[in-house]
């Protein structure tokens, strides 16, 4: 095929913003599809037909009946457009699997959905049929699958005839989530693996959807160059480092970007005032509003620290919880806001602290897109310790909003934040603060350094301007994906 013909790229994920979101995966898949469309790619999205997705997608119509697979009787493919762009989206509509209330991966009471293997096997079969042109839509040139939920897609595609199937890309957004199920469940999911294929999915006596994606995809990517190196090592590979290292010649790290039409201090509809690097005045109003909204002392000069994210071990939410009293006791004007949900025990721990520092600590156990924007707008410092971080979008949003991140230099955090060393401060390249040890003393020390600089407003503003000037647009990353797709398409479509 000609290297310049428009490519049909099908991007599949379990969550896509704003149709459904629990984390960065949703933001990344939506933004990539739209950045690719701007590059002339025919990018289409496909995901489960959750209630929230059906409510928000535009012009949905039934375009196919799904063949019975993986134990489900009936299902339909709904096709329409994304709410805020003309990117086509397909929803795999099987009400018993995706529309029974509760969260994307857990029931309403927080317990795991035991039928997750079936839910995502059904999705994967539908994607394979769609991409092969069996559901009445044009066949895809490339299928881009994301995370364990879609790890069976590369396997199913590999079982099609070579040169008559799309090329497959599998992107790891997080190695910690692997999608395990008993091996003897596979036949019931219409997954048939023998010989070498069996070894490609078997993981310590179970089946791993993540491993399937890693082994069978034509190309692997992950969401930052540093994480691409890290996952080849035992410290970050979650038992699959050997599998990935063996495919090291087919692995690239492509940094996530941010969608600046959504995450913008100049335009975000959720901010009470707007601002830019050239004029930061509106940020002070955002700070006053968030202080009022959350019952914090109305102190314009008080350093306001924010945490936004999953309350989990990965995000060091346990360490932050332990450090909170010392963080606040160190100086009488420090303020902290925590917005997050996650592990039930950590949620409980944070809830218990609420009320203990009136006017200085606000705990919001929950999920709110609007409040996340307002916190980025009003905050001074983002607390973003992570034990590991594939890319991390939160620190990118923070920097774009002039909120200075404190991070551990792992994965995408190391690739995107420049430490405020004396040299980097002197040449105005610093954009945040690093700390090495994943413990409370490490975090406390970095906070002390950050607040010392915060109390020198002229220097702090230079840091803010450098952070806001960082360019994390999707354009460059989308171009890298496009180059990769073209290379693969030439291999798989060359007859
Ligand atoms: P991860 O995908 O590992 O959770 P990222 O930093 O890449 O971490 O992306 C997290 C995304 O989810 C960001 O858009 C962040 O604003 C959002 N987010 C996480 N928790 C919450 C919450 N409780 N309320 C609102 N937004 C949240």
Q: Over the stretch 275-312, which tens digit does the pLDDT of each residue have?
A: 999 999 999 999 999 999 999 999 999 999 999 999 99
pLDDT at 128 over 70: yes
Contact criterion met (CB below 8 Å) for 359 and 285: no
Co-location of 107 and 146 in the same domain = yes
For residue 144, being part of any structural domain is answered with yes
Co-location of 289 and 405 in the same domain = yes
Q: What is the pLDDT of residue 493?
A: 57
Q: Which of 264, 259, 468, 268 is nearest to 370 (CA)?
A: 268
Please tell me the distance between residue 362's alpha carbon and the centre of ligand 1 in angstroms: 18
Co-location of 227 and 340 in the same domain = no
Q: Is the CB of 340 under 6 A from ligand 1?
A: yes
Q: What is the pLDDT of residue 1?
A: 44
Average pLDDT, the chain: 96
Q: Is the link from the previous residue into 65 a cis peptide, with omega within 30 of 0?
A: no
The dihedral over CA atoms of 384, 389, 394, 400, expressed in degrees to the nearest 10, equals 100
pLDDT at 118 over 80: yes
Please tell me the distance between residue 187's alpha carbon and the centre of ligand 1 in angstroms: 36
Nearest protein CA to atom 22 of ligand 1, as residue: 367
CA angle 409, 414, 417 (to 5 degrees): 105
For residue 273, being part of any structural domain is answered with no
pLDDT at 420 over 60: yes
Q: What is the pLDDT of residue 495?
A: 43
pLDDT at 130 over 90: yes
Co-location of 203 and 57 in the same domain = yes
Share of the chain above pLDDT 70, in %: 98
**Residue among 372, 390, 398 to mutate when testing ligand 1 (max atoms within 8 A of CB):** 372
Co-location of 246 and 314 in the same domain = no
Please tell me the distance between residue 140's alpha carbon and the centre of ligand 1 in angstroms: 31
Co-location of 200 and 297 in the same domain = no
For residue 263, being part of any structural domain is answered with no
**Residue among 15, 16, 18, 24 to mutate when testing ligand 1 (max atoms within 8 A of CB):** 24
Co-location of 58 and 194 in the same domain = yes
Co-location of 388 and 339 in the same domain = yes
Domain count, the chain: 2
Contact criterion met (CB below 8 Å) for 18 and 85: no
Share of the chain above pLDDT 90, in %: 93
Q: Both tokens of residue 172?
A: 């790891």
Q: Is the CB of 223 under 6 A from ligand 1?
A: no
Q: Is the CB of 200 under 6 A from ligand 1?
A: no
Nearest protein CA to atom 24 of ligand 1, as residue: 367
Nearest protein CA to atom 27 of ligand 1, as residue: 309
Q: What is the pLDDT of residue 470?
A: 96
Co-location of 91 and 135 in the same domain = yes
What average pLDDT does the segment 225-252 reach? Answer: 97
Record the pTM: 0.95
Q: Is the CB of 341 under 6 A from ligand 1?
A: yes
For residue 417, being part of any structural domain is answered with yes
For residue 274, being part of any structural domain is answered with no
**Residue among 309, 311, 338, 397 to mutate when testing ligand 1 (max atoms within 8 A of CB):** 309
What proportions of the chain, in percent to the nearest 5, are helix, strand and coil?
40, 20, 40
Q: pLDDT of 155-209, one tens digit each? A: 999 999 877 899 999 999 999 999 999 999 999 999 999 888 999 999 999 999 9
Eight-class DSSP state of 270: T
Co-location of 446 and 484 in the same domain = no
For residue 112, being part of any structural domain is answered with yes
Q: Is the CB of 468 under 6 A from ligand 1?
A: no
Q: Is the CB of 369 under 6 A from ligand 1?
A: yes
Q: Is the CB of 368 under 6 A from ligand 1?
A: yes
DSSP string, 277-322: SS--HHHHHHHHHHHHHTT----TTS-EEEEES-BSTTTTHHHHHH
Q: Is the CB of 135 under 6 A from ligand 1?
A: no
Burial of 257 from C-beta contacts in 10 A (0-12 / 13-18 / 19+):
buried
Nearest protein CA to atom 2 of ligand 1, as residue: 24
Domain holding 195: CATH number?
A: 3.40.50.2000
**Residue among 383, 394, 413 to mutate when testing ligand 1 (max atoms within 8 A of CB):** 394
For residue 58, being part of any structural domain is answered with yes
- What is the rounded distance in angstroms from the CA atom of residue 414 to the CA atom of residue 226? 7
Co-location of 200 and 290 in the same domain = no
In angstroms, what CA-CA distances link 412 with 32, 174, 367, 391, 434?
17, 12, 23, 4, 13
Q: Is the CB of 23 under 6 A from ligand 1?
A: yes
Q: Is the CB of 24 under 6 A from ligand 1?
A: yes
Co-location of 102 and 219 in the same domain = yes
Q: Which of 15, 31, 203 is nearest to 123 (CA)?
A: 15
- What is the rounded distance in angstroms from the CA atom of residue 343 to the CA atom of residue 353? 16
pLDDT at 139 over 70: yes
- What is the rounded distance in angstroms from the CA atom of residue 38 to the CA atom of residue 70? 36
Tokens 């038992």 correspond to 239
Nearest protein CA to atom 26 of ligand 1, as residue: 369
For residue 267, being part of any structural domain is answered with no
Q: Which of 149, 111, 116 is nearest to 14 (CA)?
A: 149
What backbone torsions phi and psi does residue 266 show, to the nearest 5 degrees? -90, -20
Kindly give the number of the ligand 1 atom that is closest to the alpha carbon of 25: 2
Nearest protein CA to atom 4 of ligand 1, as residue: 23
Residue 31 lies in domain: 8-257+475-492
What average pLDDT does the segment 426-437 reach? Answer: 97
pLDDT at 4 over 70: no
């Amino acid at each position: 095929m000609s290297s310049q013909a428009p490519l049909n790229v099908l991007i599949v994920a379990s969550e896509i913003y704003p149709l459904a979101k629990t984390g960065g995966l949703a933001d990344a898949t939506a933004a990539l599809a739209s950045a690719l469309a701007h590059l002339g790619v025919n990018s289409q999205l496909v995901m489960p037909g959750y209630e929230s997705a059906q409510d928000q997608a535009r012009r949905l119509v039934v375009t196919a009946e799904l063949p019975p697979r993986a134990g489900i009787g009936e299902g339909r493919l709904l096709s329409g457009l994304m709410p805020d762009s003309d990117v086509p989206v397909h929803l795999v509509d099987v009400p018993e699997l995706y529309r029974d209330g509760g969260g994307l991966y857990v029931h309403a009471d927080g317990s795991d959905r035991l039928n997750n293997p079936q839910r995502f096997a059904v999705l994967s079969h539908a994607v394979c049929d769609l991409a092969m042109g069996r559901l009445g839509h044009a066949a895809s040139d490339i299928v881009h699958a994301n995370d364990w939920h879609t790890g069976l897609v590369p396997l199913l595609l590999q079982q099609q005839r070579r040169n008559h199937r799309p090329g497959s890309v599998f992107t790891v957004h997080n190695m910690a989530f692997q999608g395990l199920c008993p091996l003897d469940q596979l036949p019931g999911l219409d997954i048939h693996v023998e010989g070498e294929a069996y070894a490609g999915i078997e993981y310590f006596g179970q089946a791993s959807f993540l491993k399937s994606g890693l082994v069978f995809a034509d190309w692997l990517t992950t969401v930052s160059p540093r994480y691409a190196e890290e996952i080849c090592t035992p410290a970050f590979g979650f038992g699959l480092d050997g599998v990935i290292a063996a495919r090291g010649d087919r692995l690239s790290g492509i940094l996530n970007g941010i969608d600046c039409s959504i995450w913008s201090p100049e335009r975000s509809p959720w901010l009470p005032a707007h601002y830019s690097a050239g004029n930061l005045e509106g940020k002070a109003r955002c700070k006053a509003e968030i202080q009022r909204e959350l019952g914090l002392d109305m102190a314009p000069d008080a350093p306001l620290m924010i945490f936004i994210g999953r309350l989990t071990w990965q995000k060091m939410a346990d360490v932050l919880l332990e450090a909170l009293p010392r963080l606040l006791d160190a100086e009488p004007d420090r303020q902290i806001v925590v917005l997050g949900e996650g592990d039930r025990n950590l949620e409980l721990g944070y809830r218990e602290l609420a009320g203990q520092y009136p006017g200085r600590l606000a705990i919001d156990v929950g999920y709110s897109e609007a409040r996340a924007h307002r916190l980025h707008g009003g905050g001074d410092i983002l607390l973003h310790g992570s034990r590991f971080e594939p890319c991390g979008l939160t620190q990118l949003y923070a920097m774009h909003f002039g909120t200075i991140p404190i991070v551990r230099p792992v994965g995408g955090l190391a690739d995107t934040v420049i430490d405020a060393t004396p040299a980097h401060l002197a040449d105005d390249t610093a954009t945040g603060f690093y700390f090495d040890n994943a413990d409370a003393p490490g975090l406390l020390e970095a906070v002390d350094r950050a607040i010392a600089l915060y109390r020198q407003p002229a220097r702090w503003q230079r840091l803010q301007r450098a952070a806001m000037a960082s360019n994390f647009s999707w354009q460059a990353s989308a171009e890298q994906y496009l180059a990769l797709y073209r290379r693969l398409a030439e291999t798989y479509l060359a007859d």
